[in-house]
Chain A
Amino acid sequence: MNPLNPMHAPSALAGLFAVNLMSDPVSVTHYLVVGAILFTAGIVCMAVKRNALGVLMGIELVLNGANVNFVAFSSPYLQGEQTASIGLDGQAIALFVILLAAAEAAVALAITLNFYNNHSTVDIDQADGLKG
């Protein structure tokens, strides 16, 4: 039962998309798909952007995608019969992630402004002063 088998993948997709999205209740997998897309967008943003603030925005997207997963796993609305729920832990972790993201953004912004004051640019390709 190889999950990447082309015979198996459509049946997995059919479980989510072939059913009527308008009338069926939402499951945890719906939220996981949204979290995966946000996470991937953040990773690509971190890799592609040359503006230091663009890289910061990618980090925010990654943390937000992880938060979506935490909230989905802790949600009592999305659980059929309490099989995958992690209870209140998920919400508490999501709260801490939001707070630590605020702290991280403040420090990263301070470093970026410092770099801009010293080098008059925010292009991270110019930040090679430590290269051997």
Chain B
Amino acid sequence: MLAAINWHSILFLVFAGLACAFAVAVVVADNIVRMAFYLVLALGSTAGLFFLAGAEFIGAMQLMIYVGGTLVLLVFGVMLTAQAPFISIKTSTNDRVLAGVVGAALLAVLLQAAFSVEAWRRPGVGQVANPSATPLGMALLGVRVDDPPAGTSPSLVRSGYLLPFEIVSVHLLVVLVGAAYLARAKRRRTPRGIETADVAASGGSR
């Protein structure tokens, strides 16, 4: 009995169920603080799905950047704006029904597309020769050490991801500087002398 159970599939069902249930809970919940908590759990369960798919590095990055960084940022945003009238802003029932109908139609289209390709429904072999994060790490440095896909010429030169990696890193730096500039405190509650000095120092723009 125990030998017949495929633990990979069991764990997939657990993580997939948790991810979908908490994603739906984010939509259904009205309280913004609870929405943030449900989102943490949904994204954490998705990291489990990544581990089960053999993408250990992506799963770890999901936990560290998404759950550990982005969502902490979101929770800070929730806390900074969580005045009593904004904790739960109700949506009208008409909008909810309309969004539900549109969402159901979209889900039907996506599921039909997911089931339409025969090759995707074939179950996997469930094992890999020697899993490691080395191919991805080397590819980010511009060197491909992974096996080429079947059916392509082995002499084909495949590019790495060094240029996108650099572009993304510079993009992240620029974005964080811009975000710090946008979110800086403009109207400080300080004594008048300090505030006028502050305005004069910033060119009197605000």
Contact = CB atoms under 8 A, between A and B. Distances in A.
Contact of B182 (A32, A98, A107): A107
A91 B136 contact: yes
Interface of A: 3-4, 9, 12-13, 15-16, 21-34, 36-45, 47-51, 53-54, 56-58, 60-61, 64, 67-68, 71-72, 74-88, 91-92, 94-96, 98-107, 109-114, 116-117, 121-123
Given A26-B9, A98-B62, A82 B150 contact: yes
Contact of B176 (A16, A60, A103): A103
A51 B52 CA distance: 34
Given A34-B49, A88-B146, A92-B161, A107 B178 contact: yes
Contact of B32 (A22, A53, A91): A53
Taking each of A13, A54, A100, which has the highest tally of chain B beta carbons within 10 Å of its own beta carbon?
Answer: A54
Given A26-B9, A57-B74, A103-B171, A123 B120 contact: no
B156 interface: no
B117 to A, nearest CB: 7
B107 A91 contact: no
Interface in B1-47: 4-6, 8-10, 12-13, 16, 19-20, 23-24, 26-27, 32, 35-36, 39, 42-43, 46
A44 B176 CA distance: 29
Given A16-B115, A53-B78, A61-B39, A24 B20 contact: no
Nearest to B135: A88
Contacts of A75: 53-55, 124
Given A25-B123, A84-B119, A94-B58, A71 B86 contact: no
A9 B109 CA distance: 12
Contacts of B103: 40-41, 43-44, 47
B200 interface: no
Interface of B: 4-6, 8-10, 12-13, 16, 19-20, 23-24, 26-27, 32, 35-36, 39, 42-43, 46, 49-50, 52-55, 57-58, 61-62, 65-66, 69-71, 73-74, 76-78, 80-81, 85-86, 89-91, 95-96, 99-100, 102-103, 106-107, 110-117, 119-128, 135-136, 139-140, 144, 146, 148-150, 161, 164, 168, 171-172, 175-176, 178-180, 182-183, 186-187
Given A60-B43, A68-B49, 9 more contacts: A24-B6, A27-B120, A31-B49, A39-B110, A64-B66, A75-B53, A102-B172, A105-B73, A116-B81
A95 B54 contact: no
Given A68-B49, A111-B182, A100 B106 contact: no
Contacts of B57: 91, 95
B179 A107 contact: yes
A68 B66 CA distance: 14
B30 to A, nearest CB: 9
B23 A61 contact: yes
Contacts of A32: 110, 113-114, 120
